[in-house]
Amino acid sequence: MLTVMETEQPPPLHPQTHLFTVRLWVEALGDGQTEVRMQVRHTVSGETRYFRDGELLLAYLLAKVQESEHESGLGRSNSP
């Protein structure tokens, strides 16, 4: 006998969700030297950037999120 169990509905998607594709690879520089290269693509706009520094990539991602929050008014304070 099968019984149907009630399940909670998944929470609605956060309106400020961002989707990025991040690609990492190792580039040979010669003389046995290598460097990690990174590509990030904002899937909605198609904007693509390339990085050699992970901290700069992270800063770019955070800036894109904050830019969106600022444009939508989410970053505003309600205090006088």
Model pLDDT for residues 12-38, shown as the tens digit of each residue: 665 678 899 999 999 999 999 999 999
Q: Which residues are bridge partners to 49 per DSSP?
A: 40
CB-based contact 9:44 (threshold 8 Å): no
H-helix or E-strand spanning residue 65: helix 54-72
pLDDT tens-digit map of 49-75:
999 999 999 999 999 888 876 676 655
